[in-house]
Structure 1
Amino acid sequence: MAFELTKEQLMIQKMAREFAAKELAPLAAERDRTHEYPADSLKKMGDLGFLGMLVSEKYGGENAGTVAYSLALSEIACACASTAVIMSVHNSICCGSIEKYGTEEQKEEFLRPMAAGAFIGAFALTEPEAGSDPQAMTCTAVRDGDHYIINGTKRFITSGKNGGVVILLARTAEKGSRGISAFLVTHDFAGFSVGRIEDKMGQCASDTVDLLFNDCRVPASRMLGSEGEGFKIAMSGLDAGRIGIASLSLGIAQAALDESIRYSRNRKQFGQNLSGFQGLRWMIADMAMDVEAARLLVLNAAAVKEHGENCTAAASMAKCYASEMAQRVTGQAIQIHGGYGYIKEYPVERFYRDARITTIYEGTNQIQRIVIANELLGRQ
């Protein structure tokens, strides 16, 4: 499928590229080293509309469409994957879920300021013993008059510490996917606290934390959707989230390819530039083919979603292929750099670490293959 981007989409891509190069790239390595949350950059992104790209204009969003969003997210990831994953979870899962399932009161209270970048959204599904199998979750929400009392632990939650609102999945009935409900939880609730902050391999400027709930009383009005709809909300959000992670993976790989081309043109061995050696030229050709193949899968998934069609298979294909491609390409980038690629002075070392998680979150790639097979063959 050939894609002819519109003038508006190209304009958004260009704006994101220029912002990323000026505001994010110069700070990315230091933020990776210090684990500094990119709060000031996110504020600027909110001002530019990057945090409400999928939100309708009615709630202050840009309504730019999934294709333009994917293009922008890839440009952000090309400069700083940590900022990109925050943008992805916020836009794809959190804003999308609130707009689709929230009440008008919830949209005014949360979606409108989120679209403006006033605060960031987090999505709390994973638990210590419930990752790929969300139906195994044990976090509970028990009705008590006009409130639900929530108890349990969530793990590996992106923006869980710095986010302003958390979409929390908890069990309101004992068994099955229909026993899971979603809630909009904020840090001001008694009994809600942040636990361990993970010391990660990559994407170190985005916070990944445990969230702890100890008799946390949440008003029933904070339920997102209806009781028992949580699993459906989560799966719908993850379809969009997988397009986000695919776009992020594409951006990391593009950065690694660009850096490899630049290095091979300047680094000399045996009296000539590396770019003159056929073996390295072919490596870069293979990397470029990988990136372009992923780009088509990612844009296809984004277009399918933008057209309102079922994007489950397309999103999983894009996420699975693009994330595995990012690992191949960043690995080859280190190989092209030789020993220099293994030290932190050169950015390909960070790209390699940042790419590794992309095959794991928003559903491992083993889960993506199950999803794709189920869409093609039906569930067994």
Structure 2
Amino acid sequence: MTVDRILPTEEAYDLLDLTRELADRELAAKADDHERHGVFPRETIRTLGLSGLLGLPYPEADGGAGQPYEVYLQVLEILAGRWLAIAEAVSVHTLSCYPVYAHGTERQRKLLPDMLGGDLLGAYALSEPQGGSDAAALQTRATHDGAGWVVNGTKAWITHAGHADFYNIFCRTGGPGASGISCLLADAGTPGLLPQKPERTMGLRSSAPAQIVFDDLHLDADRLVGAEGGGFRIAMEALDAGRLGIAACAVGLGQAAVDYAAAYAREREQFGKPIGDFQGVGFMLADMATQVSAARALVLAAARLKDAGRPFSIEAAKAKLFATDAAMRVTTDAVQVLGGYGYVSDHPVERWFREAKVLQIVEGTNQIQRLVISRSLVR
């Protein structure tokens, strides 16, 4: 289903048409096989980079496409409707480029054309085995050794671990709390940077996260991104935008589930007529479609605030909360519409149901989003 939206330029319409064509040609046919065998789609991601889809919200002068966030998020929605792992990869990579773009030195920013063009794939190493939601309590530590930094510790749930070309490492360079955290930039293959075996996940098996162990990882002094002690602020700035990316992925997944369930309900007959003619099914489809539309409206409203340079973090939290909860409900109902057929892997709703769950967890659990929103109301 194509949903009409008001876009800033004709170029944006052309971009979305290109994305649909590319997604249908390059993604839809590959998703099931890659997910079944857990094969990371690096070449597919590189193709997206060559098509200009990995640097959409960044300025053209830095190698990006100079598109508003409102347009970028609609691209993510299209990609997620064909293959969620790809859309999540684009979202995480876009997030991973932010520290260097916003806080990098002149020398670090020379990497941006390769980052935004997809030659270099990024990873964002913030979470740890004992600290996910409480990011300010992270324990990975970097100490001065005279020439630079020595990093020791473990990160967890890192998307692109073992596949990324560069890693943003958030680590403790000072005392306890947020003010003691800094951001370091590390290249893949640097001795002491040790990606572990991928996790065995419920969904997104083609892009399963993994732990990364830092064992006396030596980095030059010029690998510090931003000011020493400024890493937590960098991390939170990036996550505000990253939450919108995950919310857009949820909208795309939900829309795919609505479309598939509605098509099935038109064709599947019971008691002499299509099951969609029964109110029990028809009303379920109506609720599914309404939830996806409402989620999309929240996502794009927050994106317009960001594009206008206005505060958007609370609206991003609302969008992430509502859209990912909606995706979970909608994919659950899509399985129900298909009945027994929804429970087998012959139909994609089974995979979408499993994939929707992770969207309620990544980029800040939905419990954390509720905490952020509630605090803003009573502050």
Note whether the superposition's TM-score is higher than 0.5.
Answer: yes
> 1:281-331 CA distances to partner (integer Å, 9 max, x unpaired)?
111110010000000000011111111111110110000000000000000
Structure 1 stretch displaced more, 244-253 or 142-151: 142-151
Give the letter for the 2:119 counterpart: A
- The separation in 1 between residues aligned to 2:106 and 2:60, in whole angstroms, is 14
- Structure 2 residue 103 is matched with structure 1 residue 95: no
Q: Per-residue displacement from partner, 1:121-179 (whole Å, max 9, x unpaired)?
A: 10000001111001211100001112111000000000111111010100001211010
Alpha-carbon deviation of 1:372? 1.2
Q: Distance in 2 between matches of 1:315 and 1:14?
A: 26
What is the match of residue 45 of structure 2?
42
Cα deviation 1:242-300 (Å, max 9, x = unaligned): 00000000000000001001111111111111122122111111001000000000001
1:90-169 map, 5 Å = 90-91=93-94, 93-109=95-111, 111-169=112-170
Find the aligned partners of 1:100 and 1:234 in 2 and give their Cα distance.
11
Determine if contact 1:256/1:333 at 8 Å carries over to the other structure: yes
Q: Which residue of 2 aligns with 1:284?
A: 285
Asked if the contact 2:137–2:178 (Cα under 8 Å) also holds between the matched residues in 1, the reply is: no
Which SS does the other structure have where 1:183 is aligned? Answer: strand
TM-score, length-normalised on structure 1? 0.97
Q: 1:203-282 residue pairs with structure 2 within 5 A? A: 203-282=204-283
Q: Does 1:361 align with 2:357?
A: no
How far apart are 1:375 and its partner, in Å?
2.5
Paired amino acid for 2:102: K
Alpha-carbon contact 1:164-1:187 (below 8 Å) kept: yes
Q: For residue 344 of structure 1, report the CA deviation from its aligned partner.
A: 0.5
Counterpart-to-counterpart distance in 2, 1:165 and 1:233: 17
For the residue of structure 1 that corresponds to 2:30, the secondary structure is helix
CA RMSD, 1 decimal? 1.2
Q: Which letter maps to 2:23?
A: A
Range with bigger deviation, 199-208 or 162-171: 199-208
> Which structure 2 segments of 5+ residues have no match?
none
Relative to structure 1, the CA distance from residue 83 to residue 257 in structure 2 (aligned partners, 3 Å threshold; closer, same or farther) is same
Q: Tell me the residue number matched to 2:61.
A: 58
Matched, 1:67 2:59: no
How many residues are treated as equivalent by the alignment?
A: 375
Instruction: Show the counterpart of 2:318.
Output: 317
CA distance in 2, matches of 1:374, 1:3: 33
Aligned residues of 1:47 and 1:117 also touching (Cα < 8 A): yes
Query: Helix, strand or coil for the counterpart of 1:153?
Result: strand
Deviation sequence 1:202-254 (CA, Å, 0-9, x none): 01111311101011111110111110010000000100100000000000000
Could you tell me how far 1:3 is from its partner in structure 2?
6.3
Match of 1:29 in 2: 32
In 1, Cα distance between equivalents of 2:336 and 2:358: 20
Deviates more, 1:18-27 or 1:312-321: 18-27
Give, as a single letter, the amino acid of the residue that structure 2 aligns with 1:5. L
Q: 2-side partners of 1:375 and 1:203: how far apart?
A: 33
Maintained 8 Å contact 1:202/1:353: yes
- Secondary structure of the residue aligned to 2:200 is coil
The residue identity in structure 1 corresponding to 2:294 is A
SS at match of 2:206: coil
Give the Cα separation in 2 of the matches to 1:214 and 1:309.
Answer: 41
Contact 1:168 1:185 in 2 (8 A): yes
Unaligned 5+ residue runs, structure 1?
A: none
CA offset at residue 373 of structure 1? 1.9
The question of whether the paired residues in 1 share the 8 Å contact of 2:200 and 2:208 is answered with no
Structure-1 separation of matches of 2:322 and 2:15: 25
* Structure-to-structure mapping, 1:167-206, within 5 angstroms: 167-206=168-207
The residue type equivalent to 1:332 in the other structure is D
User: For residue 87 of structure 2, what is the aligned residue in structure 1?
Assistant: 84
**In 2: Cα distance, 1:99 partner to 1:376 partner:** 32
User: Alpha-carbon deviation of 1:42?
Assistant: 0.8
